[in-house]
């Protein structure tokens, strides 16, 4: 099998980072011996591009603040879920009656049902907003 520049270009990031296996390392070295112009080009590219690790300068308090924020969002999400579930159950509890013949559904919208619907919707919207916020920020 003939190894091309494209194959070596694909292998170059793991070769430079030192994560390549011994066989891959030997393959890249052998190709560099066969094509010294590409070896120089790869060396120049490696020295001036993103192949060097970028140092992160985060304050030590950053991790603690991120953890506290995550805990707060998780607590809010859990509380909103409980709130929404409670008012959703209240809607069904006020609409369903038990009689001697079994369950009877009352389709009438009373003031209590309307209030429960509004509160349940507010809880579900808050829950999904909090959940989305946790997912978007990667927490």
> Mean pLDDT for each 10-residue chunk of the chain (139 residues)?
82 80 88 86 67 68 88 93 92 70 66 87 94 74
Q: What is the pLDDT of residue 120?
A: 94
Q: What is the pLDDT of residue 103?
A: 65
Q: What is the pLDDT of residue 72?
A: 92
Q: What is the pLDDT of residue 2?
A: 79
Q: What is the pLDDT of residue 118?
A: 92
Q: How far apart are the first and last CA of the chain?
A: 46
Which tokens sit at 117? 């619907």
Q: What is the pLDDT of residue 91?
A: 83
The domain ranges of the chain are: 5-48, 61-136
């Amino acid at each position: 099998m003939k190894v091309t520049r494209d194959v070596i270009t694909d292998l170059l990031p793991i070769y430079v980072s030192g994560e390549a296996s011994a066989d891959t390392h030997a393959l890249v070295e052998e190709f560099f011996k066969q094509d010294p112009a590409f070896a120089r080009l790869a060396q120049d590219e490696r020295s001036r591009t993103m192949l060097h690790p970028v140092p992160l300068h985060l304050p030590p308090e950053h991790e603690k603040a991120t953890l506290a924020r995550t805990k707060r969002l998780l607590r809010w999400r859990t509380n909103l879920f409980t709130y929404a579930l409670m008012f959703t159950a209240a809607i069904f509890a006020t609409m369903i009656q038990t009689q001697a013949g079994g369950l009877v559904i009352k389709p009438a919208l009373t003031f209590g049902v309307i209030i429960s619907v509004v509160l349940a919707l507010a809880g579900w919207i808050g829950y999904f907003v909090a959940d989305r916020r946790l997912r978007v920020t990667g927490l």
